[in-house]
Structure 1
Amino acid sequence: MVSDNGFNTDWVSAPGDTIIDLMDEFGFNEEELSKRVGLSMIKSRELISGELILTEKIANKLESLFNVSTTFWLSRENKYRQHKDAIIRQNNEWVQSLPTSDMSKLGWIPKGLSGNKKVEYCLIFFGVSSVPEWFNYYKSKQTAIAFRKSEAFRTEEMAVITWLKKAEYVSRKQRTYAWDKEILKGSLEALRKHSLEADPKVFLPAIRSILADAGVALVILPTPTGCPASGATCFFESGKATLIMSFRYLRDDHFWFTLFHEIGHLVLHNCEQHRIEGMSGLSEKEEQEANEFSSNVLIPPAYRAEFDTLSGRNWKNIIKFARKIGVSKGIVLGQLQHAQKIPFDHFAKFKVKYNREDLS
């Protein structure tokens, strides 16, 4: 992750600020300053704003005009330029660490940005006015984030933070009732029934409504490059949980397992507890608990013994079992594959594959 490198965020203003103070003290206006220093009105204004470099020649004129040494003016100018260069370097380092290519492709920032414009729009995206403000915000932010990640991908913290920030914007637009763990627990069967529906355009609005009744906003959001999260749970607002799904693998078994895994965190763990950084994921114990919770929702314990008898030798039994317990055959196959009862490359046609454009 990009570092603040001990950057001193104290503001260092342009020498023009001191010039303005002295103009007030001596009773000079801009026109008189221009004449005395030997600059045009335009250049004089650039000097005051810090756009024009304060040279030794100008410093000599200012010494004569205000009785303030040339050395002072040159030192003041040097410190200002060093500070400005440090800001530019940090801005460039920060924006280069962001997944800006994907941010523009996904419509999170305008396309075709470069230089200061790219920095400007990335700051707008994060809702801050400067990179030092961004660092201060994320150093002090204590939102509990626990995201499932694939070990096949390399986690880039900046990509994860970017994904979560966009998810926050989407979540805040969704209206829900107040967060209620008991209502969420009571809605598991209603949610599970929708696994039989193959069309995301049908089941997503339905499960979003069920979750909203329990105070949970469901956000479906693709990840930028470098963010390996398939799901996340957090509280961007007090009294409102957010469950984020990336739909990374575009298959029904993965989607429904991840959904109930994340619900497991909300039900089993103190997801409102703030954590510093918050990007390292949950403990191995909590992850295992969430995995078991999801498996037990999808394949209820009452049917576990029958599930254990299934294998790839009789695929019809898998279909019958799925119908019997009321979930898709892709989910049952996925659980069998996870239990290493069936190879991952077998019976791929059992699983429903989604189109990215159908997800919203």
Structure 2
Amino acid sequence: MSEETKYFAPAVIYPPGEDLADKLEEMGIDANDLASRIGRSQKTINDILNGKCSITLDVAIDLECVTKIPAEYWMHRQYSYSNFIASKKREKGFGSILEWMKNFPLQEMLKRKWIDAVQAAADKVQPLFKFFAVCSPKAWENYYYKQQLKVAFRISLAESRDPYAMSVWLRRGEILADEIAMEKIPDKKVRSNVKNMLPEFIALAVKSPSVTAPEFSKTKKKLQALCAKANIKLLYVENFKTAPVHGASRWYKDVAVIQLHDGFETDGGFWYTFFHELGHIVLHGKKDMFLKNVEYRSRDLVKDAEADAFAQKQIAAVGDGGKKL
């Protein structure tokens, strides 16, 4: 089967009721007779014949008994027709969706292979929708821009310089976090783990090569392993020029997550940001989310200062160990 044949889509798909009407005519019975035979109202049958009512599985099974046409056929026809109608409905708002998509760093996302390339214009919206796990621009707006799901964030990305790129960065972290299996344990236990393991974090920072050295990749993996030991998911996600966020910390699906920019140019920038986000996990609540190097009105300056103090204390300990940051 050729690709053209495999993906052929007719310009128009008629409701399955038209097939049913043809079959009834062939059998020499009318809608009222069919309604009596399958125990449905005449209105329901007329609505099916006119495409105003969908054929359910129960109805399809009953139709098979009367018409001898398999229920699978009726369900397939109904699916094809419903999908056709839904596609037409989406096409009406296609122009505005394409305009909305222009706000996102799509070329960079393609380059990083965060979304898949598509050829057909009608399919271009699907990779972005799938990336965010939403079905419309409105759903994206409610979740990310207006932060209606406050369990996810305590900030509104509408307050950031580029909320679109910021949402991409955060969502990429969610995708990576979902790929890591980790037990959910009480937040008090996580904080206790971190406090007990601080010497290990500091020792790793002392021994760490420069962030610009090829060997630093091994340090990043070791740091991820240490965080996992403390029951924290540590993620590295490259940011965007319009959203130069350095780090974020939050509890995602009841597991502590630290997300760092994957491309620090200085040792101090990397380790300070890591310890800053670690400080938020240790010191602050599960419903809070914090972004570093991003200005937003709802930013909690007190908690940010506490995380700074925590980071400074750990950096000082790194310095005492002979490592200058």
Q: Which amino acid aligns with 1:203?
A: T
Distance verdict in 2 for CA 1:247–1:290, change over 3 Å: same
2:150: which partner in 1? 142
Q: In 2, Cα distance between the equivalents of 1:243 and 1:135?
A: 24
The equivalent of 2:97 in structure 1 is 91
Q: Could you tell me how far 1:202 is from its partner in structure 2? A: 2.4
Over 3 Å counting, the alpha-carbon distance change for 1:227 and 1:271 in structure 2 is farther
Q: How does 1:64-143 map to 2 (within 5 A)?
A: 87-111=93-117, 115-138=121-144, 139=146, 140-143=148-151
Higher relative contact order (CA 8 A, sep 6+): 1
Cα 1:134/1:269, change in 2 over 3 Å: same
SS at match of 1:290: helix
Cα 1:85–1:257 change in 2 (3 A) is same
Residues 112 and 251 of structure 1: is their aligned pair in 2 closer, same or farther, counting only changes over 3 Å? farther
Structure 1 residue 22: Cα displacement: 7.5
Looking at structure 2, the residues matched to 298 and 118 of structure 1 have their Cα atoms a distance apart, in angstroms, of 46
Counterpart position of 1:186:
196
Change (3 A) 1:245 1:81: closer
Structure 1 residue aligned with 2:305:
288
State the partner residue of 1:197: 208
Once the two structures are overlaid, the 10-residue window that deviates more, 290-299 or 247-256, is 247-256
Alpha-carbon distance, 1:112 to partner: 6.5
Q: Which runs of 5+ in 2 are unaligned?
A: 1-11, 27-50, 52-85, 210-214
1:141 aligned partner, one-letter code: L
Distance 1:260 1:214 in 2: 14
Which of residues 226, 240, 258 in structure 2 aligns to 1:210? 226
Residue 145 of structure 1, CA deviation:
4.4
Q: Percent identity?
A: 22
Provide TM-score, normalisation by structure 1: 0.56
How does 1:8-27 map onto structure 2 within 5 Å?
Answer: 20=15, 23=18, 27=21
Q: Distance in 2 between matches of 1:273 and 1:131?
A: 25
Q: Tell me the secondary structure at the aligned position of residue 97 of structure 1.
A: coil
Matches of 2:223 and 2:241 in 1, distance apart? 27
Cα distance in 2, alignment partners of residues 197 and 183 from structure 1? 22
Q: Check whether the contact 1:145–1:279 (CA below 8 A) recurs between aligned residues.
A: no
- In 2: Cα distance, 1:156 partner to 1:186 partner: 38
TM-score by structure 2 length?
A: 0.62
